[in-house]
Structure formats: C-alpha cells, structure tokens
Structure 1
Amino acid sequence: MKKQRPINLDLTTISLPATAKASILHRVTGVAMFFALLFVIWAWAVSLQSAESFDYVKSLLNSHFAKFIAWGTITVLIYHLLGGIRHMIMDQGYWEELDSGNASANITMVLWIILAVLAGVWLWF
C-alpha cells in the first residue's frame, strides 16, 4: 500500500488564510506575554525594595534596549487584546463566515500595526 504524502514539506510554500495567521499570532503573543511579564514582575519587585533600587530600575528602563523591550511588551499586549476581543465577538456568533472572518482578521492585524507604531512613537518621543 503506497501512501500519498509529501516526503519533504516546504512550509514556506504554504499560503495560510488570514484567519489562521490571526489565530497563530494570538497564541504566539500569549506565550510572549508570559515571558515579557517575567521582566515586568522582576522590575516591579526590584523597584519596590528601596529608593536606590527604584532609581536603578528607573535608569535601566531609560536605555534604548529597555525601551525596545517595553515596546515589544506593549505591542504583544495590544495584539493579544485585539485578538481576544475578536475571538469574543466570534463566540457571540458574529464573523464566523469565511469572508467576514478573513475581513475581521485582516482588520485586527492592520489595527495592531497602527497601534504598535503609535506605541513606539509614544515611548520614544
């Protein structure tokens, strides 16, 4: 019996629909938020120890690397919130058809990019 399955599947040639990309991004941002919150909790805990440790964390967070991490954390949070709102609306029975699901996924991703850029402008200026 010969099986008709690919031997070497090239993942770069697979075209995923917008709904799949939105779902994958929602899961990835959830995992990224977990790891980002480890940094946030550490900074919060250290800053509450004393006035000197607060000044240390404050000076640390003024670096470009820390601002980049903060921007990444905010960006991940924004997408996860937008994706979560989209999923809750879908749980109510809306946007479940193929066209409206793709449209809502595309709108979510475009809105995320716009808000991520605005968050970056807010952080650096």
Structure 2
Amino acid sequence: MSDSASKPRPQFRNISVPQILSYRLPLAGKTSILHRISGALLFLCLPLVIVPLFALSVTSAETYAGIQAWVSNPLCKLVLLALIWGYLHHFCAGIRYLVLDLHIGMDKHSAQKSAGIVLGVSLALTVVFGLKLFGVW
C-alpha cells in the first residue's frame, strides 16, 4: 500500500456563501453559466410569454393593436429586453459551442477569447435591439 493511498481524503464541509461568492470563474465558465441561464429563460418563457404573444399577434388586426398597446408599457419592454438578451446570448454561445465541438479553439487562450467575443457580440446586439425596442430610432 502506498503512502498516498493511506492518507485520508480531505473533506470539505460547511462551505459558506461568502466562500462561494469569492470563487472566481474564468470568462469561459461565466459564459457557460449564462448560456444555461439564457436557455432556461427561453424554455420557461416559451409557453408562458412567447407563444401566447405570437398567437395573439396573428389572430387579427385588433389583437395585434392590443399587443402593441400592451408592449408600449416600459415594464413589458424590460421583460422583452431580457428575452432578447436571452435569445441573442444563447444563439451566440451556441455557435461557440458548435465550433468547440469541431475541436476548434480548444486551448485556454482561444477559449477565453471566444468567450469574450460571445459576451461582447451578444451584449452589443442586445443594445442595438434594445434601442430599437425603446424607440430611439
């Protein structure tokens, strides 16, 4: 029996919230977590928000006008902006993961760079669509 096999394995118990919050993930890890969050957001909002709004918008011109009036509410616009971010981030990160599945950009530097590009592009697109949503142009 070797010396390392006889040593007891360390046990980590009672990890507190400040310890968890002080842990620093690399950018690729944060992008991965945001990809999961955006996917869950889209999955949960699909039957509750997206499909009903679409169904009402194609029913008649009157219901479409009613949706336009409802969407003019700033709180509704914030919800739609969150959904826009969720879609754009999930789309951009999904393309990144498809490229990673092709074994392109697997080294640490390239993975960090592509994670930064995903965050930058998805946030920039969200700003552009948000400006359009809030009527800046």
For Structure 1 versus Structure 2, the TM-score category normalised by the shorter chain is 0.7 to 0.9
After TM superposition, give the deviation of residue 84 of structure 1 in Å: 0.4
Q: Which moved more, 1:42-51 or 1:81-90?
A: 42-51
After TM superposition, give the deviation of residue 3 of structure 1 in Å: 4.2
1:4-15 equivalences in 2 (<5 Å): 4-9=11-16, 10-15=19-24
Q: Deviations over 1:20-79 (max 9, x none)?
A: 111111111001112232312111223344443332222111221222122111111110
Q: Does the 8 Å contact 1:18/1:105 carry over to 2?
A: yes
Q: Does the 8 Å contact 1:89/1:95 carry over to 2?
A: yes
1:32 aligns with 2:46: no
1:100-115 equivalences in 2 (<5 Å): 100-115=110-125
- 2:89 match: 79
1:1-125 equivalences in 2 (<5 Å): 3-9=10-16, 10-38=19-47, 39-124=49-134, 125=136
Q: Which moved more, 1:99-108 or 1:81-90?
A: 99-108
Percent identity reads: 26
Q: 1:66 to 1:89 in 2, by over 3 A?
A: same
Gaps of 5+ in 2: 1-7
After TM superposition, give the deviation of residue 8 of structure 1 in Å: 2.4
Q: What TM-score do you get using the length of structure 1 for normalisation? A: 0.87
Q: Does the 8 Å contact 1:75/1:119 carry over to 2?
A: no
Gaps of 5+ in 1: none
Q: 1:112 to 1:47 in 2, by over 3 A?
A: closer
Which one has a bigger Cα radius of gyration? Answer: 2
Counterpart residue type for residue 7 of structure 1: N
